[in-house]
Amino acid sequence: MSTLKILTYPEKFLLQPTLPLENIDGNVQQMIDAMADTMYKAPGIGLASIQVGWDRSVLIYDISARDEKRGLHVLINPRIISSEGEVVSDNEGCLSVPDFRADVKRSERILVEGHDREGKPLHLEAEGLHAIVLQHEIDHLNGKLFIDRISSLKRELYKRRVRKALRENETAL
């Protein structure tokens, strides 16, 4: 089991859009396995490549309940083709935004195109938690965090809290 370091806000790398992954080779498979180990250990239900310092477009997720058998899904170069409806994603969180949760407006249903880890084309129709996870992770691949989708007041409160914590860490040294 090899786990990767998860970058957290305000790390600037998280804000850059990923590039398309062009070559699905053995290194990519190893990286996907390491991402899966990292996600399960965290634990989280989704993880995007950019969160572990990889700037190619790959996301993984597993929304099966904890006591069920694992169901890992891998999406390479995903794109939202269409979306409809609106839902509030209750108390959304992110491994890259620790100790913070907020309600986020998301599309209710989406259509996603991409490739699986073997490079086979995938078309997914998603709703509910499935649609929310995909939107959250695809946002990551586009350099976006869920705090970019909340009110500026809430976002400022969070940013101030992080700045304060970072200052306190400095003085503790």
CB 146 within 8 A of CB 88: no
3-state secondary structure of 43: coil
Rounded Cα gap, residues 63 and 75, in angstroms: 14
Residues contacting 59, CB < 8 A, separation 6+: 46, 47, 48, 49, 74, 75, 78, 134, 137, 138, 140, 141
Size of the site for Ni ion (CB under 5 A): 1
Under the criterion CB under 5 A, does residue 60 sit at the interface with Ni ion?
Answer: no
Over the window 75 to 104, marking each residue x when it contacts Ni ion by CB under 5 A and - when it does not, the resulting string is: -------------------x----------
Q: How far is the CB of 113 from Ni ion (least distance, A)?
A: 21
137 is catalytic: yes
Q: How far is the CB of 121 from Ni ion (least distance, A)?
A: 25
Which of 11, 68, 92, 137 is catalytic? The answer is: 137
Residues assigned a catalytic role:
137
Residue numbers of the site for Ni ion (CB under 5 A)? 94
